[in-house]
Amino acid sequence: MFYLLVECCEELQRLINEANNFADQTVEVRELAAKFIIDVIGSCAFGIQINALTDEESEFHRAVKKLSKPSYKATLWRMLRTAMPRLYRLMGVQLVDPSVTQFFTHVVSQMISQRENNGTTRYDFMDLLIELKNKGTLESEATNSRICSDEDAQAAKEIGKSNCNVVQNR
């Protein structure tokens, strides 16, 4: 998964460099960081190249914005959930907009079916979910060792942790 993070970082770096070329241009760091996080989550968790840094109108970006949009109503329901969890469960409140839940459910099932039909792998979180669904356990759990790609192993060595078994061609 490390290589997916590196790809997102390279795109962020490119945009920062572009912004540096225009000294009079204001950069919204909070928005830039949010888009970067959306790209990382989309890439590492869902296996989708979202390009939220460059494409603000993607459906994934809109769904995440809906999901993270603050509201007083949601805050009150969260407070109720914390203060009176039984009442909260009894009332059956759904904090997340049903259209957002439906969107992510559709994305995950579509991605699983596409990967199973085509036999493609990206070595991301979605692959772990598919493996868990099909085998009931993860390969690294069965052998009780960590499995890493060459890039992940190199990064681990650079930060002083080298307890990975390197798997070729990832």
Q: How confident is the model over 143-165, as pLDDT tens digits? A: 545 556 666 666 555 655 445 55
Q: Which residue has the tokens 């079916």?
A: 113
Q: How many domains does the chain have?
A: 1
Lowest mean pLDDT among 6-10, 18-22, 23-27: 23-27
> How many Cβ atoms sit within 10 Å of the Cβ of residue 82?
9
Residue 64's contacts (CB-CB under 8 Å, 6 or more residues apart) are 38, 41, 52
**Cβ–Cβ < 8 Å for 170, 127:** no
Please write the tens of the pLDDT for every residue from 34-49: 889 888 988 888 888 8
Question: Which residue intervals of the chain are DSSP H helices?
Answer: 2-21, 29-41, 59-68, 72-83, 85-91, 98-118, 125-135, 139-143, 150-158
- Check residue 94 and give its pLDDT: 80
What pLDDT, on the 0 to 100 scale, is given for residue 167?
47
Q: Which domain holds residue 15?
A: 2-136
Q: What is the mean pLDDT of residues 50-77?
A: 83
Q: E strand or H helix at 146, and its extent?
A: strand 146-148
CB 100: neighbour CB atoms within 10 A? 17
Mean pLDDT of 112-141: 82
Burial class (CB in 10 A: 0-12, 13-18, 19+), 26: exposed
Instruction: Note if the pTM is more than 0.85.
Output: no
Q: Please give the average per-residue pLDDT across 5-31, as a whole number.
A: 84
Q: Which residues does 58 contact at the CB level (< 8 Å), separation at least 6?
A: 50, 51, 52
Higher pLDDT, residue 142 or 153: 153
Indicate the range of 84-98, 101-115, 133-147 predicted with least confidence. 133-147
pLDDT value at position 161? 45
Residue 143 lies in a domain: no
Does a structural domain hold residue 165?
no
Whole-number pLDDT of residue 133: 81
Q: Is the pLDDT of residue 109 over 60?
A: yes
Question: Does the residue 164 lie in any domain?
Answer: no
pLDDT of residue 169: 45
Is residue 155 a part of any domain in this protein? Answer: no
pLDDT at 77: 86
